[in-house]
Structure 1
Amino acid sequence: MTVKPEWSAGLAGIVGEERLLLGEEQREKLSKDYYWYSPVLEPLLRGKRADGIVQPEAEREVAEVLAYAYRHDIPVTTRGAGTGNYGQAVPLDGGLVLDLSRLDAVLEATDAFVRVQAGVRLGALEKRLREQGKELRIYPSTFMKATVGGFVCGGSGGIGSITYGNLWDGNVLEAVVWTMEESPRRLVVKGAELQAYIHNYGTNGVLTELTLPIAERTEWSQAVAQFDEFEAACRFCYALSLTDSIRKRLVAPVEWPIPSFFKPLVKKLESGAAACLLEVEEGNEAALAALAEAEGGRIGYAVPADRYRQGIGLSDFTWNHTTLWALNADPTLTYLQAGFDPIRFMEQISELKSRFGDELLLHLEFVRSGGTVMPSALPIVRYTTEERLYEIIAFCESIGVGINDPHTYKLESGGRGRLEAMLAAKRANDPKGLLNPGKLQLPVAGSARGDGR
């Protein structure tokens, strides 16, 4: 579809001509995210783009755009900073991209929480909070660019998850959600109702405001513990993760040769060694070294707390930033998203390495999910064919390694979020199915999953 001239006039009347973007280059740029991490998604989404970009600066404008689009049957795909990896912000059916990056006000900050508009950048918010003696509890590796709304609607966990868990573990307190109806409703959602809107890709409501719990500022030192064997690195990281006397923000063992992809860091690392990328509270250097020595390791590169956030940090090489460094080194690589058994993970790691060798390279991020310490992972895969990729996924699942498929844009196929709650909200809030269509399918009669894989 294309935006008809009368629609252009109507939308410009809401947000102003300067915030209705119709140029080809603008539409191309703001219809993309990092879906190209996936060789499966890249050809599927390459040519998709919006017919127009709308950039509201107030909630009132969001509501008016949604009402206008509803009356004219225009699909609406919400966008933050476009740092997602699954095509969350890519419009499959044209229509409008609703760019919320201009809703960037910090509305309230207390000792316990911060209330912000969806377009606030996490990096700027973290800087502001630390200046006030506070800090974010969790954030993604893309936090310098990512928005709060984009993280809540498209992410799950990240740096800090070793202490505070993922988004579903009490890390969102409240959300303001707008429905897409003839007269959009402003919902204030909290408690169990939030399950429908975390990691929802904007498919069942548009989040314009979020309230997040915050923590006291901690002085974080960074260190790399190095080991001759990846298994020893994993045992050390597990022991550290269970040591509550050491406060942690990041515990990430990385198998060689992945550290060789980290160009700004590799000269500071031991060639051939597994590297554990760590952020711990300053003053724990001796305890950290003792834990590493118990598993045959040693502390190598270190950054003191007074240099935290000065230049590139260790978290810039973890979570899905690891994939980006790998792709920069070898464009044929891709990745998976995996969850290991909290008890059997060492056995599972051994089985994967025995089966796939260097075809599957591991880096783990230890998290505390629902109160239980466990390793999550974004393994690097040497991609050959889609068929082989799904053979690897099938083997992972056969040994109890859960896979959230990052090679699909469909929520119900990717295994993310709380599907039944999201579907119920979709029915209630989006009667015409105009919010980010194609990403969340309402099941047809007699089907439990709709058209998912």
Structure 2
Amino acid sequence: MMWKDKLMQLIGEENVIVKQAAVDRLSKDFYWYSPVLHEQLRDKVADCAVAPKTIEELKTIVQFAVENRIPLTPRGAGTGNYGQGVPLFGGIVLDLTRLNQIVEVNDTTVKVQAGVKMGILEKTLRKEEKELRIFPSTFMKSTVGGFLCGGSGGIGSIRWGNLWDGNVLEVTIITIEEEPRILNVSGEEMHDYIHNYGTTGILVEAVLPIEPKTEWSQFIVSFTTFQQAVLFCDELAHNEAITKRLLSVCEWPIPAHFQQLKKHLTEDKSIAMLEIAEPAVPLLHELIDKYSGEVSFTISSDKYHKGLKVSDFTWNHATLWAHKHGENITYLQARFDPQRVFEQMRLIREKFELEVQFHFEFMKNKGKVTSGSLPIVEYKSKERLYEIIDFFEENGVSVNDPHTYLLGSGGYNLRMKEIETLKKQNDPYDLLNKGKIPKDEKMELMN
């Protein structure tokens, strides 16, 4: 294509990635968690990719794309699950991982570029007796920009909530115009740039709050029944005397897929996976005894984030392990009614047996403890999948559908009207992550 030759002349042939294997890799994320998305997205690929090293280089690429009306798809490490970083209409993938500078660390905040890996950031902060508030289970690979634009919560959310709960203080955005603007956005307006799949501007920097470092001990606690495990986790979640960073619970047979933990786990037992502040460990043991739990595995605080991590089996890592070692495995994102949770699970189990397997993550939302569910589902067909979703919703279990690439269709309470307004202002030619905001492009793509 002529425009690729022009792009090479503009920024240097060595800076334009055209080798098919590399372009294919950079055009994918973890959408294959969903068989539905796999069918829709597996053949979507960019025409080329670029990896700018400076914001000025990025602005040059944006100007070129606007002048030639070329779609742009921003990308971090590609650990998203919904096709957030998949180019639906070809064009250029913007690999932002070279924008990887930790700009400034002070007592309460850190300023970073979008391509900084969250694992490197957390490790750097802990050397300075600080730590991040929240990060995804994929933090060793995921980038700050990818998490802010495509994620919502994760490790730390049981204490600090999700991205919207004061865990992002400011973002720097580049608009997609003939003369790209640099916007420094904070406060309420910033919420329309979080978890928006990078559709309204390219996030290049962020300011995040940080906290004093805590010494975290990790535990896996086994229970005879899943109900015991859930009740234990619920009381632990509400106990503010026990400082915690992670609180995850999976019913058997999900833990059967956790290969590195097999020698520590007992068949047919449900497990809770925890990160607990070291001074609170004695209180934890009292609660474990109250619910007749058994500590099956521990990692001491001096080995925190050195080698195996309990968090490697939580959040959607649990889905990943089941997908690796099971057959036809996918998942849902659901929210049970706290007053009816055991009744709702009983109805689902009676209807679908082990076709649906339960997994809960405890977190805070606007300061209030809540639990999200990431149930494992044995995939049989798209029709069967949506029959399961319909049954959940008929029985009062809300579902955020992870089997769509469309922003807002997954059930998050995004301010879509505000996002659509920003899209028109910041990306007037609709070039940035084209097709991810629900409108006529969906029909165009499917036809």
Selected match of 2:407 from 389, 393, 411:
411
| Contact kept? 1:342, 1:372, Cα under 8 Å | no
1:292 aligned onto 2:288: yes
Match of 1:120 in 2: 116
Q: Provide TM-score, normalisation by structure 1.
A: 0.95
Q: Trace 1:206-355 onto structure 2 (pairs within 5 A).
A: 206-355=202-351
Match of 1:430 in 2: 427
CA distance in 2, matches of 1:331, 1:80: 29
Q: Deviations over 1:310-365 (max 9, x none)?
A: 21110000001111100111131100111223444333333322332211111111
Q: Which runs of 5+ in 2 are unaligned?
A: none
Q: Given residue 179 of structure 1, which amino acid in structure 2 is its aligned partner?
A: T
Change in Cα spacing, 1:214 to 1:43, as seen in structure 2 (3 Å) is same
TM-aligned CA deviation for residue 294 of structure 1: 1.5
TM-aligned CA deviation for residue 431 of structure 1: 1.0
CA distance in 2, matches of 1:331, 1:177: 42
Selected match of 2:53 from 47, 53, 57:
57
Match of 2:6 in 1: 10
Match of 2:138 in 1: 142
Q: Which runs of 5+ in 1 are unaligned?
A: none
TM-aligned CA deviation for residue 80 of structure 1: 0.4
TM-aligned CA deviation for residue 247 of structure 1: 0.5
The alignment's C-alpha RMSD in Å is 1.8
Match of 1:389 in 2: 385
1:68 aligned onto 2:64: yes
Greater shift after overlay, 62-71 or 86-95?
A: 62-71
TM-aligned CA deviation for residue 393 of structure 1: 0.8
SS in 2 for 1:412: coil
Change in Cα spacing, 1:14 to 1:215, as seen in structure 2 (3 Å) is farther
Match of 1:187 in 2: 183
Match of 2:84 in 1: 88
CA distance in 2, matches of 1:149, 1:39: 26
| Contact kept? 2:327, 2:378, Cα under 8 Å | no
Aligned identity (percent) is 49
| Contact kept? 2:232, 2:288, Cα under 8 Å | yes
SS in 1 for 2:405: coil
| Contact kept? 1:195, 1:421, Cα under 8 Å | no
TM-aligned CA deviation for residue 298 of structure 1: 2.1
Change in Cα spacing, 1:346 to 1:113, as seen in structure 2 (3 Å) is farther
CA distance in 2, matches of 1:427, 1:129: 38
TM-aligned CA deviation for residue 31 of structure 1: 0.4
TM-aligned CA deviation for residue 196 of structure 1: 1.1
CA distance in 1, matches of 2:394, 2:109: 42
Match of 2:147 in 1: 151
Change in Cα spacing, 1:331 to 1:61, as seen in structure 2 (3 Å) is farther
1:104 aligned onto 2:100: yes
SS in 2 for 1:40: helix
Selected match of 1:47 from 43, 49, 53:
43
| Contact kept? 2:241, 2:280, Cα under 8 Å | no
1:374 aligned onto 2:392: no
Q: Deviations over 1:94-144 (max 9, x none)?
A: 000011010000011111111100000000000000000011100101100
TM-aligned CA deviation for residue 295 of structure 1: 1.8
List structure 1 segments (4+ residues) > 6 angstroms apart after TM superposition.
Answer: 449-453
CA distance in 1, matches of 2:271, 2:398: 24
Q: Deviations over 1:135-190 (max 9, x none)?
A: 11001011000000000010010000000001111111100111111111111110
| Contact kept? 1:15, 1:54, Cα under 8 Å | no
TM-aligned CA deviation for residue 399 of structure 1: 2.4
Q: Given residue 432 of structure 1, which amino acid in structure 2 is its aligned partner?
A: Y
Q: Given residue 249 of structure 1, which amino acid in structure 2 is its aligned partner?
A: R
CA distance in 1, matches of 2:288, 2:344: 22
CA distance in 2, matches of 1:15, 1:147: 24
TM-aligned CA deviation for residue 296 of structure 1: 2.3
TM-aligned CA deviation for residue 14 of structure 1: 4.3
Selected match of 1:33 from 29, 52, 65:
29
Q: Given residue 427 of structure 2, which amino acid in structure 1 is its aligned partner?
A: D
Q: Deviations over 1:278-302 (max 9, x none)?
A: 0000133322122122222222211
Change in Cα spacing, 1:121 to 1:323, as seen in structure 2 (3 Å) is same
CA distance in 2, matches of 1:46, 1:9: 27
| Contact kept? 1:15, 1:56, Cα under 8 Å | no
CA distance in 2, matches of 1:405, 1:379: 12
SS in 2 for 1:411: coil
